[in-house]
Structure 1
Amino acid sequence: MNQVYDKKTIRLHWISAALVIGLWIVGQCIDFFPKGTPRITVRSLHISFGVLLAVILAVRLSWRFGAGVKLPAADTGLMGRAAISVHHFLYLLLVAIVLIGAACVWLRGDNIFNLFTVPALDVTDKSLRHDAVELHGLIANILLAVAGLHALAAILHHVVLKDKVLARMLPRLSDKSRSDQA
């Protein structure tokens, strides 16, 4: 039986993945830019794409728990339960990174593209601002690591177990395997 996710689920998955990777890379580079307009522009891009990730995540969660295709776990045993747990953990990390990122913007009072400034909640509490930014970075690193393990597991399924799990999110793999068998 060939089970694949619907096109919307697949698109939302890969857009989320691309945004997470891109946001992580930009987040690592913000402080390399000189203070002033260059750093404001890069941070503003990071914030803008973070807002886009929040929107995509909201759509993804509503689709996932609403009309989206729900496939059974590929394995009913321990591996299946672990896969479900990892997926839930990834969603939790995504929600956390978006919420803490938004908190960082409000705590810092960020200037957005030199067009407007988000008012800071408390300009005197620099330690809270620092801690929030550090937590945002830590969760981003954890998210990237768990997503990387998720990707490695999918590759392991494809290369070693040959169980078509990766083809659920990459239907072309399923199409290719059918044409190879013909």
Structure 2
Amino acid sequence: MTPEDKPSRWGGLIISLHWAGAAIILALIALGWAMVYGGFDSASTFDLYQWHKSFGFVALALTAARLAARFAGSAPPPPPSPRWERRLSAFAQGSLYILTLCAIVSGWLAVSTSPLPVPTRFFDLFVIPNLAPADPSLFAGAVLAHKLSAWAIAFLVALHVAGALKHHLVNRDDVLRRMSPVWPKIGSARR
């Protein structure tokens, strides 16, 4: 595919999956923080954990769908920016995929191997099976991997947002617009 054949912006499916995934990841970070540091009573904390786990599986499905759509479709050409900037962007985006999967799998492993056997009830509809039996040492490693992944995701999300804003506000190019939803103009249907 030549640069002339590439689309000028991301496709609607990729854009939808991107923003849905971003919303879920931000919600997971907020829920994770609230359940650990919120100081809620035990019943509310339990509910937050169940919501966090359920949204984690939603994030897994969205990430898998986004990866499949990304490999099936074509990307717009990279913006005219320095090589180091394009490499940093590619590294951050690839790392976000990997860390998201790592955070989800390590979280699933942590609840599976926990010495406290609490089933994961997906939005209170059905129980998600465990990956492994209870194991305190595996539990400790999975919890550490989950926390480190979550902090790394938060850092990379901030870097990703800063890069998008830099392109939009400083470079004044179309990088942010290529991933923005297209909203119909109000009043254009009446004309």
Post-superposition offset of 1:117:
8.2
Q: 4+ residue runs of structure 1 moved beyond 3 angstroms?
A: 112-123
Which residue pairs with 1:168 in the alignment?
178
Residue of 118, 140, 145 corresponding to 2:155 = 145
Post-superposition offset of 1:137:
1.2
Residue of 70, 93, 111 corresponding to 2:75 = 70
Deviates more, 1:148-157 or 1:164-173: 164-173
Does the 8 A contact of 1:93 with 1:143 survive in 2? yes
Give, in whole Å, the separation in 2 of the partners of 1:34 and 1:130. Answer: 24
Q: Provide closer, same or farther for how the CA distance between residues 75 and 110 of structure 1 changes in structure 2, counting only shifts above 3 A.
A: farther
Residue of 18, 21, 44 corresponding to 1:13 = 18
Q: Does 1:154 align with 2:159?
A: no
Q: Does 1:91 align with 2:101?
A: no
Give, in whole Å, the separation in 2 of the partners of 1:53 and 1:117. Answer: 15
Does the 8 A contact of 1:158 with 1:166 survive in 2? yes
State the number of aligned residues: 171
Higher helix share: 1
Contiguous gaps of at least 5 residues in structure 2 = 186-191
Contiguous gaps of at least 5 residues in structure 1 = 176-182
Q: Can you list the C-alpha shifts for 1:17-59, whole angstroms capped at 9, x where unaligned?
A: 1111100110111133333x43322111111100000001111
Q: Does 1:3 align with 2:2?
A: no
| Residue identity in the other structure for 2:111 | V
Which residue pairs with 1:53 in the alignment?
59
Residue of 112, 121, 132 corresponding to 2:120 = 112
Residue of 10, 28, 40 corresponding to 1:33 = 40
Post-superposition offset of 1:87:
1.3
Does the 8 A contact of 1:107 with 1:122 survive in 2? yes
Q: Can you list the C-alpha shifts for 1:84-115, whole angstroms capped at 9, x where unaligned?
A: 22211111111211211221121124333587
SS at match of 1:65: helix
Identity of aligned residues (%): 27
SS at match of 1:71: coil
| Residue identity in the other structure for 1:137 | K
TM-score (norm 1): 0.82
Q: Provide closer, same or farther for how the CA distance between residues 119 and 71 of structure 1 changes in structure 2, counting only shifts above 3 A.
A: closer
TM-score (norm 2): 0.78
Give, in whole Å, the separation in 2 of the partners of 1:171 and 1:117. Answer: 33
Post-superposition offset of 1:73:
1.4
Q: Provide closer, same or farther for how the CA distance between residues 171 and 3 of structure 1 changes in structure 2, counting only shifts above 3 A.
A: farther
Give, in whole Å, the separation in 2 of the partners of 1:120 and 1:102. Answer: 7
